[in-house]
């Protein structure tokens, strides 16, 4: 299922350009247009879900596939050893701005904790 008004569905469809770095049957990974770290890649399911909770609730293979692609991206970006952070902002208070499920893969610099 896709949403014709969804920005990330348009990237999946190839209607909006993105710098795609990895793909699987059910997910794609592309560079964030406003990077917050030397590596900042978004991993999204090809199907439209509002957030990662919906992906998990759907009960298909997408949730595991998302994490596998995150891990693959970390390896190919060279940040698997130094460390990286996966972030899935969920809902307005957590600063979700695009309501198509996505996981941020961030790395290449030290990161503070707790997050802002
Ligand atoms: P979030 O705030 O967690 O919903 O993250 C949405 C992310 O999508 C932000 O980090 C944006 O910079 C990023 N973003 C928005 N539009 C695009 C686009 N066309 N291509 C790549 N990344 C985008």
Domain ranges within the chain, ordered by starting residue: 7-107
Beta strands in 18-102 (DSSP E): 20-23, 27-31, 39-45, 84-87
pLDDT tens profile 6-25? 999 999 999 999 999 999 99
For 7-107, CATH gives 3.30.428.10
Is 52's pLDDT higher than 90? yes
pLDDT tens profile 23-39? 999 999 999 999 999 99
98 CA closest ligand 1 atom index: 4
pLDDT, position 61? 67
pLDDT, position 1? 80
pLDDT tens profile 60-90? 767 899 999 999 999 999 999 999 999 999 9
Catalytic, 102? Answer yes
Q: How far apart are CA 105 and CA 10, in angstroms?
A: 21
To test the ligand 1 pocket, which listed residue (14, 97, 104) has its Cβ within 8 A of the most ligand atoms? Answer: 97
């Amino acid at each position: 299922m896709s949403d014709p008004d969804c920005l990330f569905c348009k990237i999946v469809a190839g209607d909006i350009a993105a710098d795609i770095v990895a793909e699987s049957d059910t997910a794609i990974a592309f560079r964030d247009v406003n990077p917050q770290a030397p590596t900042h890649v978004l991993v999204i399911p090809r199907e439209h879900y509002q957030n990662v909770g919906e992906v998990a609730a759907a009960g298909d293979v997408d949730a595991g596939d998302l994490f596998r692609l995150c891990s693959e991206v970390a390896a190919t970006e060279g940040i698997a050893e130094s460390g990286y952070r996966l972030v899935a902002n969920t809902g307005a208070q957590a600063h979700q701005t695009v309501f198509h499920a996505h996981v941020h893969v961030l790395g290449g610099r030290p990161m503070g904790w707790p997050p802002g």
